[in-house]
Structure 1
Amino acid sequence: MPGKEAQAAGWTCVASGQALLGETPLWCEHTQSLLWLDIDQARLHRLHLATGRRDDYAFDAEFVGCLALRTPGQVMLALDLALHLFDLGTGELTFLAQIEPVGSGTRLNDGRCDNQGRFWVTTMDNQLARPVGSVYRVDSSGHVERMFGDVVVGNTISFAPDVRTMYFSDTRGFVTYAFDVDPVAGALSQRRVFADYRDTRERPDGACVDAEGGIWIAMFGGACIRRYLPDGTLEREIPVPASNPTCMCFGGPDWRTLYVTTARKFLSPEQLAQQPLAGSVLAMQVDIPGLPERRFGR
């Protein structure tokens, strides 16, 4: 159960857990279920909100970096440096694409689908310091196109409601960027700084965009989430009862429930004792609805 601090801020704990690096929450409107990952323990979780049933899947990989919805019974998973389709019913795993060669010193991290069903995915430096990561665009056939590089830890991949703006952060570069997007061709242009954290060294992590075009960003290590307007104005900041919020999605029948994953990684035993909700999935009702998640290949 959530503590007094969480309740006071409007948070509830929907899935208590010990996730080292909880990430990539996604709401499936067809099954009314929430999916999310523990990247460092290579696990996928699914919670059916109506019944409370939870399904847990483990994979023979070092990392499960991100996922995308495909059909009600199938998702796409980033296992280490390759993308696979995964059947939630049968457990069948089907290889789709190798993004970078094994031994590159990188792994797949954040990703999201656009309006054409293409998947945009980042790689990151396993040492969290070198600009050796990149951003890629992957179509439904498995064709991979590298869009740009010079990335330390790629994150925050998300799109405006009209898919004409893409947001991207280099978490360890301490900057969030915006790009113009051709929603049909998928070409990027006009890269610009959207939010600059280089002075404060704050770490923007996962994000989602609401129906009004506001972008919600989890601040890893900052114990908060922030909502920015499309012009870059900070509209609100909401404290989170865990130091390391990682990513968010909208869900529920009216898309007004904001789900937030958290991480235990990098926290000391003393910090973990003070943060019993670290590693859990939290939820809050919000006044602005989200939008259905775009699906891979659709």
Structure 2
Amino acid sequence: MLKKISIVTFLILIMACNSNKKESKKEEAKIPIKTAKLAYKINASLGEGAIWNYKTQELYWVDIEGKQLNIFNPSTKENKILETKSRIGTVVPFTEKEALVALEDGVHKMNLESGESTLFTDMKKELPGSRLNDGKCDPAGRFWVGSMHMQQLTGKANLYTITSENNLQKKVDSVTISNGIVWTSDKKTMYYIDTPTSTIKAYDYDNKTGKIANERVVVQIPESLGFPDGMTIDEENMLWVGMWNGNAVIRFNPKTGKVISKIEVPAHNVTSCAFGGKDLDVLYITTASVDMTAEEVEKYPLAGAIFKVKSGVKGVKSNFYIENKPTK
């Protein structure tokens, strides 16, 4: 009798599984899909850190392994390259002629005309065997930047903020690969990605103090879609995530955890994205040419380039770093 019940139960489970797969395929078929096209041809090793400077109408992005800060002007199709002293994880706008860049020993202030840089926030003690990776500024102008271990050891990285007074604060510990980070338009929620977890987490966020609380998972991403990397947010507070090993940027609804739409990209490893253009209606996408098989290299000859797409929605203005110098 027990054997009969177990067999019946097994058959029911198989039927339920097949039914779920059919429903999943139906859901996938309903998802709007667009294809990104080439914006700028370049063979970046590890393109990352896309952010739109709405004041200058330029796309800032980095090539981590190439040790380069890039400034792409879509109007002129020119891409200015500034060499950095070490691997560069991300960049945020600062002043008209300066940006903050995250390097291996900390955050540097870089002159965008000369390319010269000076150490702004020393983080050597915080980064043994590690380097800084992705990050952005919050609505109050603090710089949130995370780290990752060079050997990608689990739990060896952290997420930090650099306040407007240039004070370093650790916000989240035991991270593995700190990546995408954004804030909602009401300044009450922060979303954050630690790539190997395949999740997007939400935190209650206090814009006045920079405190975060109530950590919870809002999106669980199946590995079949790839691994979540860089992230941006649109005016509807929906999340756009570059998918490493996923050939796409995916738009997620953090309220439901569901996929809303997909941008297919002719590159295997999609790393970050940012809304740009005068109306913030063009999604610019960075990619990498590393970590691909010979077959993938042949299939995706444009890997490492910058891509773009009219997504159908608008983004929001990027936040700049705001420095409050102490009064004498």
Please indicate, yes or no, whether the TM-score normalized by the shorter chain is above 0.5. yes
> Aligned in 2, Cα 1:198/1:149: closer, same or farther, shift over 3 Å?
farther
Cα distance, 1:26 vs structure 2: 1.4
1:260 pairs with 2:290:
no
Cα distance, 1:162 vs structure 2: 1.9
Match of 2:14 in 1: none
Match of 2:271 in 1: 246
Give deviations 1:253-293, integer Å, cap 9, x for gaps: 11000000000110123311210110000000121100110
Task: Tell me if structure 2 keeps the 8 A contact 1:169–1:177.
Answer: yes
For the residues of structure 2 that align with 1:296 and 1:103, how far apart are their CA atoms? 22
Q: Secondary structure at the match of 1:236?
A: strand
For the residues of structure 2 that align with 1:199 and 1:250, how far apart are their CA atoms? 26
Cα distance, 1:141 vs structure 2: 2.7
1:285 pairs with 2:316:
no
> Aligned in 2, Cα 1:145/1:124: closer, same or farther, shift over 3 Å?
same
Of the structure 1 ranges 140-149 and 183-192, higher mean CA displacement relative to structure 2 is found in: 140-149
AA matched with 2:249: I
> Aligned in 2, Cα 1:211/1:201: closer, same or farther, shift over 3 Å?
closer
Cα distance, 1:29 vs structure 2: 1.8
For the residues of structure 2 that align with 1:121 and 1:247, how far apart are their CA atoms? 15
Task: Tell me if structure 1 keeps the 8 A contact 2:178–2:194.
Answer: yes
AA matched with 2:128: S
Cα distance, 1:116 vs structure 2: 1.0
1:173 pairs with 2:197:
yes
1:235 is aligned, of 257, 260, 268, to 260
2:301 is aligned, of 242, 254, 276, to 276
Cα distance, 1:155 vs structure 2: 0.9
Of the structure 1 ranges 47-56 and 37-46, higher mean CA displacement relative to structure 2 is found in: 47-56
Of the structure 1 ranges 281-290 and 24-33, higher mean CA displacement relative to structure 2 is found in: 24-33
Give deviations 1:140-169, integer Å, cap 9, x for gaps: 332100012111111111111222111111
1:58 is aligned, of 72, 83, 87, to 83
For the residues of structure 1 that align with 2:301 and 2:163, how far apart are their CA atoms? 40
Q: Secondary structure at the match of 1:166?
A: strand
AA matched with 1:241: P
Cα distance, 1:128 vs structure 2: 1.8
The answer for unaligned runs of 5 or more in structure 2 is 1-32, 324-328
Match of 1:71 in 2: 95
Match of 2:185 in 1: 161
AA matched with 1:210: D
- Would you say how many aligned residue pairs link Structure 1 and Structure 2? 290
Match of 1:30 in 2: 55
Identity of paired residues, percent? 30
Give deviations 1:103-158, integer Å, cap 9, x for gaps: 61111011010111001111112112321100101113321000121111111111
For the residues of structure 1 that align with 2:109 and 2:101, how far apart are their CA atoms? 6
For the residues of structure 2 that align with 1:265 and 1:199, how far apart are their CA atoms? 19
1:216 is aligned, of 224, 228, 240, to 240
For the residues of structure 1 that align with 2:225 and 2:298, how far apart are their CA atoms? 25
Match of 1:116 in 2: 140
AA matched with 2:263: I
Q: Secondary structure at the match of 1:141?
A: coil
Match of 1:151 in 2: 175
For the residues of structure 1 that align with 2:84 and 2:253, how far apart are their CA atoms? 38
Task: Tell me if structure 2 keeps the 8 A contact 1:173–1:198.
Answer: no
Match of 1:87 in 2: 111
AA matched with 1:292: K
AA matched with 1:225: V
Runs of 4 or more above 3 Å deviation: 197-202
Question: Would you tell me which structure has more helix in proportion to its own residues?
Answer: 2
TM-score by length of 2: 0.84
Task: Tell me if structure 1 keeps the 8 A contact 2:230–2:273.
Answer: yes
> Aligned in 2, Cα 1:199/1:36: closer, same or farther, shift over 3 Å?
closer
AA matched with 1:175: T
For the residues of structure 2 that align with 1:256 and 1:171, how far apart are their CA atoms? 26
Task: Tell me if structure 2 keeps the 8 A contact 1:117–1:140.
Answer: yes
AA matched with 1:16: K
Match of 2:165 in 1: 141
Task: Tell me if structure 2 keeps the 8 A contact 1:166–1:179.
Answer: yes
1:187 pairs with 2:187:
no
The answer for unaligned runs of 5 or more in structure 1 is 1-7
AA matched with 2:246: G
Considering only aligned residues, what root-mean-square deviation do their CA atoms show, in Å?
A: 1.8
Task: Tell me if structure 1 keeps the 8 A contact 2:36–2:263.
Answer: no
For the residues of structure 2 that align with 1:85 and 1:224, how far apart are their CA atoms? 32
